[in-house]
Amino acid sequence: MLLEYGLMCRWWNRVGKISPAEIADKLTSDALRRHLDEYDSVKDDTPFISLTAGVRMRATGARGHGNNYLVGAQRTALLYATDSFKTPGHIFAGWVPVLPHPNVSLQTFAEDVRDLTTYSRFRRFHRQGEVTAKVHVPTAQLAWVERWELGPGSLSPKGRRAHCADRWENPRFIRPEGHAAIREVL
Amino acid sequence: MTDAPPGWFDALRVDPDDVARVGYSLAEYALEHEGDAAVSEEERGDLVELRLMRAATLADAASLLVLVDVDAALRLFAESAALLERMDAPEVWTLGLACRGVWEPSESVARRGGLARPSDGIASLAALFYQQESERGNPHSGWEWASGFGDNPSHGWTATGVPARLLADFARRARDHDVDGTLEALDRVVRRADETIQARPAAGQLPLASLRSRHPIG
């Protein structure tokens, strides 16, 4: 899948064939809002692909106290990949271009919805550090894929110990260096 | 050991086994993949951020496990608090309170001038905790540092959505051994808190004040 297709949105995966006109109709701010806040109701028809790049969270201390802290991308990706530590899963790493301002209709650019200066509306799931891609992430932008497996927990038999069991590099990967508007994974 | 009433899980539509699995697994992940060894020698400058990240993941794990395995949760809260103490992060007081005395500010910290002051609401609770420790015959714990926080919140808020003045009111009434007033203040705190804290058993739910006969305060 990594080498042949890249990452495709659920909508494309499900219907098999989509047109530019249909894509244009789908890429709206309202559709993005529903993808972010009401995913269950749109999961089969969403043109968006949720990625995570990690996020800095505001400290709990009021009025300037405290340290902002980081929720890492790998932790969030692992929770999703393993369905909350139920099954083995795969984590893809890659890059997407973003703009310094929102523009949902531009398919090429992902929306950096974790950026509070541009996406300022409160989002319950902000700590997922989401960057939302549209329709397709091409193979050339995917660097590698890891398979994570679950073993018995050391703290309790109810917990699972996640470990990276295998990793495949993508020989067709094109590095993002030199391009503008690329933000680092945290 | 299940500490939360079954109705709590019904109210939030979650399975206690799922809570346990995610909680323990997150803790495993933090210890294995967010440890100091996760950064190379060249990235040592990122160590503070990595430790804050680990502290946050451990606290998230503990926040889940406190519903299903209190002992494990308290150990993880304490481990997170110890990390935050090393980073001199004032959130340490919040986690220190959560772990019910398993962690306390170390003497070395007190010698170098103590930890950073927490936000107003947490400062009120930390000062109350120290008073209770003193009344139990433990006046010289690391919590003594919190006795100087005072109790004069103005416009502060906590991360749970509760105004600091409501926590200060709760602390004041508890300090005065006003049992009814304390429980009423706690009800006001819960009513102003976010939805997770407000979740109660769907059927036969009782106001917090009704717990008085089972859990006397004061």
Signed CA dihedral, B68, A89, A78, B25: sign only: positive
- Contact status, residue B155 vs residue B126, Cβ threshold 8 Å: no
Among the residue ranges A68-82, A171-185, B27-41, the one predicted with the least confidence is A171-185
Residue B216 Cα, gap to closest chain A Cα (Å): 30
Locate all alpha helices (DSSP H) within B3-42, ordered by sequence. Answer: 6-12, 16-33
3-state secondary structure A75-88: HHHHHHHCCCCCCC
Among residues B184, B181, B177, the alpha carbon closest in space to that of B218 is found at B177
Query: What is the rounded CA–CA span in Å between residue B38 and residue A10?
Result: 34
Query: What is the rounded CA–CA span in Å between residue A65 and residue A133?
Result: 35
Pick the residue of A67, A82, A91 with the most B CBs within 10 A to test the interface with B by mutation.
Answer: A67
- Contact status, residue B73 vs residue A94, Cβ threshold 8 Å: no
pLDDT digits (tens, 9 = 90+) for B2-21: 466 667 777 777 889 999 99
Of residues B24, B29, B55, nearest to A75 (C-beta): B29
Query: What is the rounded CA–CA span in Å between residue B94 and residue B119?
Result: 9
Q: Does the distance separating the beta carbons of B72 and A156 come in below 8 Å? A: yes
* Mean pLDDT on A34-38: 92
pLDDT at residue A83 above 80?
yes
Q: Is B159 touching A (CB cutoff 8 A)? A: yes
Query: What is the rounded CA–CA span in Å between residue B209 and residue B166?
Result: 16
pLDDT confidence of residue A119:
86
Among residues B20, B61, B52, B22, the alpha carbon closest in space to that of B34 is found at B52
Residue of B nearest to A74 (CA): B33
pLDDT confidence of residue A62:
42
Of residues A69, A155, A158, nearest to B53 (C-beta): A69
pLDDT confidence of residue A145:
95
* Mean pLDDT on B82-96: 85
∠ CA B156-B161-B163, nearest 5°, is 35
Residue A155 Cα, gap to closest chain B Cα (Å): 7
Among the residue ranges A79-88, B37-46, B102-111, the one predicted with the least confidence is B37-46
Among residues A143, A149, A146, the alpha carbon closest in space to that of A161 is found at A149
pLDDT confidence of residue B104:
85
**Tokens, residue B86:** 């090393």
Residue B24 Cα, gap to closest chain A Cα (Å): 4
Q: Is B91 touching A (CB cutoff 8 A)? A: yes
pLDDT over 90 for what percent of chain A? Answer: 68
Of residues A57, A71, A154, nearest to B28 (C-beta): A154
Query: What is the rounded CA–CA span in Å between residue B154 and residue B145?
Result: 21
Contacts of A78 in chain B (CB under 8 A): 29
* Mean pLDDT on A150-175: 94
* Mean pLDDT on B199-217: 39
∠ CA B28-B33-B36, nearest 5°, is 115
At A125, the amino acid letter reads F
Among residues B120, B184, B116, the alpha carbon closest in space to that of B152 is found at B120
Contacts of B23 in chain A (CB under 8 A): 159
**Tokens, residue B113:** 């001038």
Of residues A65, A78, A162, nearest to B117 (C-beta): A65
pLDDT confidence of residue A131:
95
User: What pLDDT band is residue B155 in, cutting at 50, 70 and 90?
Assistant: low
Query: What is the rounded CA–CA span in Å between residue B127 and residue B117?
Result: 11
User: What pLDDT band is residue B122 in, cutting at 50, 70 and 90?
Assistant: confident
pLDDT confidence of residue B119:
78
* Mean pLDDT on B172-197: 87
* Mean pLDDT on B74-87: 91
pLDDT at residue B208 above 50?
no
* Mean pLDDT on B151-168: 76
Three-state secondary structure call for residue B181:
helix
Residue A65 Cα, gap to closest chain B Cα (Å): 7
pLDDT digits (tens, 9 = 90+) for A11-34: 999 999 999 999 999 999 999 999
pLDDT at residue B113 above 80?
no
* Mean pLDDT on B138-162: 76
∠ CA A94-A98-A101, nearest 5°, is 160
Residue A53 Cα, gap to closest chain B Cα (Å): 14
pLDDT confidence of residue B196:
60
Q: Does the distance separating the beta carbons of B56 and A162 come in below 8 Å? A: no
The pTM of the full predicted model, rounded to 2 decimals, is: 0.82
Q: Is B47 touching A (CB cutoff 8 A)? A: no
Q: Does the distance separating the beta carbons of A70 and B53 come in below 8 Å? A: yes
pLDDT at residue B46 above 90?
no
Calculate the average pLDDT of chain B: 79
Of residues A60, A86, A158, nearest to B119 (C-beta): A60
